[in-house]
Amino acid sequence: MLFVDYRAGSHELVAPLQALGLPIEETTLEFGDVAFEGRGEGGKPVSVGIEYKKLGELVASLRSQRLQGYQLKGMRKAFDYSYLFVEGELLYGEDGGLLRRKGKRAFTPLAGSMSVSELLKRIYVLHLRGGLNPWWCSSRGDTLQAISALYRTWTDVDLDKHKSHLGIYNAPPLVPVSDVRRAMSAWPHIGLRASLAVEKQFGGSICRAVNAPVETWANIQTIDDKGKARKIGTKTAENIVSFLNGK
């Protein structure tokens, strides 16, 4: 369930979020504009809060210090994870001063007399020192999609079940090779160069390679880095067979 503060500002998010199929309940939130319970590691419940501000509101709250002096402190106490969603185009002039759009091609200084550099540095510090995770949304559509994605991220599966951060990268070779050679080249003591001879020895069958005895592996002739022919040898073959047998 997504709890959305009923007051002006966050209230305007209710209908479009419901249109995205999210479960919404309007309520009074002491801190933050949107809150929900997520699934932490092992399914442990964690509280997640979102402070939603349009760009002009963010600058004003930084100038008055209400964000860092009051809202941030409250969010750190109320939530395990806190986010800052900023909505608006990041526009600035040649001098770095923030601007707001006034018509299609006209711009005027944004109230608060803040430069883009100052704004971004303040946001970085809020993240690094205050634990407030920032997310920039250039439009209302971006805001809605970001809230939806964050909610799904925290509620679809337990935190430790996510796998997007995991991966094994193998750089593609300059010369195309078969899938069998690519797999064999990752085995101990084989490599891409020797994988060609191994593939030929076993007729492109990984099953034959896995079930081959040490003697067969030891007599496979490969070409070393200096272009000389050499056999894999008994000791190396024993290591390869041990690996393939899971030992």
Do residues 194 and 139 both lie within one domain? no
Give the mean pLDDT of 212-217.
95
Token pair in block for residue 11: 């209230």
Res 174: pLDDT: 75
Q: What is residue 170's predicted lDDT score, i.e. its pLDDT? A: 72
The count of structural domains within the chain is 2
In the three-class reduction of DSSP (H, G, I as helix; E, B as strand; rest coil), residue 175 is classed as coil
Say which CATH number the domain at 107 has. Answer: 3.40.50.10130
pLDDT recorded at residue 56: 96
Which is nearest to 24 in space by CA: 50, 43, 9, 5? 5
Distance CA 31, CA 70 (A): 9
Separation of alpha carbons 29 and 35, rounded Å: 8
Q: What is the pLDDT of residue 46?
A: 98
* Residue 129, in any domain of the structure: yes
Q: So what's the pLDDT on residue 182?
A: 87
CB-based burial of residue 41 (10 Å sphere; 0-12 exposed, 13-18 middle, 19+ buried)? exposed
Same domain, yes or no: 149 and 30 = yes
pLDDT at position 133, please?
A: 97
Over residues 39-58, the mean pLDDT reads: 97
- Asked if 106 and 139 sit in the same domain, the reply is yes
Estimate the crossing angle of helix 116-128 against helix 55-64, to 10 degrees.
70
- Answer whether residue 91 is part of any domain: yes
Tens digit of each residue's pLDDT (9 = 90 or more) over 66-80:
999 999 999 999 999
For residue 160, the number of C-alpha atoms closer than 13 Å in the C-beta half-sphere is 6
Do both 13 and 117 map to the same domain? yes
Structural domain harbouring 237: 179-244
Could you tell me the pTM of the whole model?
0.75
> pLDDT tens digit string along 132-180?
999 999 999 999 999 999 999 999 999 999 999 998 777 777 778 898 9
* 73 occurs within a structural domain: yes
**pLDDT tens for residues 22-34?**
999 999 999 999 9
- From 161, 196, 224, the end of a domain falls on 161
Are 145 and 220 members of one domain?
Answer: no
What is the per-residue pLDDT across 89-129, written as a single tens digit (0 to 9) for each?
Answer: 999 999 999 999 988 889 999 999 999 999 999 999 999 99
Do 28 and 149 lie in one domain? The reply is yes
The mean predicted confidence, pLDDT, of the chain is 94
Residue 217 is part of a domain; what is its CATH number? 1.10.150
* Domain finish residue from 161, 187, 211: 161
Supply 7's token pair: 């007051």
